[in-house]
Amino acid sequence: MQNPRWLLAVPLVTYLISYLYLAFYHGKLWLWNTIVHEGGTLTLFQTTFYASHFLGHIPSLTIIAFFLASWYKVLVPSKELFRFNLKWLFIALPFSVVCFFYSLWQFGKDETLSYLFLSQQSVIRTEPGGSYLLHLPSTLSLVILIPLFIAFTLVIFRRKVFWQTTHLKSVAITAFIAVAFALLFTLSSPATILHALTDPRYLAHSVRELVTFPLTFFPIPLAFWFAKHSSDRSSFPLAARRPLLILFALAIPLLLVQIWIPLTVGIGELAQKPNFADTPLPIKYLLASHYFEHVLDTIFFTMVCLAIIPWRGMKVTNSS
């Protein structure tokens, strides 16, 4: 497999399978007017265009976009620093403005501002730090998981895996900004952040996010970026193999802890319980409906990624 455009099929297939599962669960094929959200109030249409929810995710999405771009720079044979493409930023800005006004119309002023100013986390829950703090465990986990995903994808699409230590500083700076933002802009204390990183509900949500990003978010910008690299016999030099093995060793306990702690409480106790479900929603349902929450997020995330690393005119070298 060499053509990176196949990566674009990953989110499409994910949404198709998710839709078919939801259709099977609800016993009907047309779902746009059917309540599918675990909060029990949003139809599939409202969930797909969940603009207020998207507004609360803008800080997290921007940071994760920088994580993806920074790790990409570490693992591909490019020696240039970031060259921002303002065209994509100028597209992302009016997109966000349109979503803001749509949110005011569809979801109301209170919910829109509550998500925007990071105080709302879900349909029924409001907590200081809002969506940003709720996503902090998954955001920080991606520091370790993103390079593994990129390396795996490079091998699948027959691209050489590099390891350029110079670009690690971008990863470190982004991680520092992620924590600093939590402290300064969400008015969170270190104790609040520690709670977010250990609370079963936060960790259960983190696992769901970590299943969402590789299937819907990451493949799209990677498909554009990979297109600038000619395919070759993929190789995994020792300089890249060693640090990636260390990251893989760290990823295993990281994921096990985030899975185990929610399981000790019980997923059914942590998830919302909509009126349309006679029994607790299965994990498959929670995942399938969750993908549709992030359609607007995925569009914005792709714009930011392509603004950070333009997919046209990116210079590529052939040496490590």
pTM for the full predicted model? 0.92
The two three-digit tokens of residue 100, written as one number: 């803001």
In a domain, 98, yes or no: yes
In a domain, 316, yes or no: no
- Residue-range definition of the domain harbouring residue 204: 4-308
Helices and strands per DSSP (H, E), number in the chain: 15, 0
In a domain, 262, yes or no: yes
In a domain, 315, yes or no: no
In a domain, 320, yes or no: no
In a domain, 144, yes or no: yes
Per-residue pLDDT reduced to its tens digit, 25-62: 999 999 999 999 888 889 999 999 999 999 999 999 99
DSSP assignment of 272-319: ---TT-SSPPPHHHHHHHHHHHTHHHHHHHHHHHHHHS-SSS----S-
Count of the separate structural domains present in the chain? 1
- In tens digits, the chain (320 residues) has pLDDT values of 678 889 999 999 999 999 999 999 999 999 999 999 888 889 999 999 999 999 999 999 999 999 999 999 999 876 655 677 888 989 999 999 999 999 999 999 999 999 999 999 888 788 888 899 999 999 999 999 999 999 999 988 888 888 988 889 999 999 999 999 988 877 778 888 898 899 998 999 999 999 999 999 999 999 999 887 666 666 677 778 899 999 999 999 999 999 998 888 766 555 667 778 777 788 899 999 999 999 999 999 999 999 998 875 444 444 33
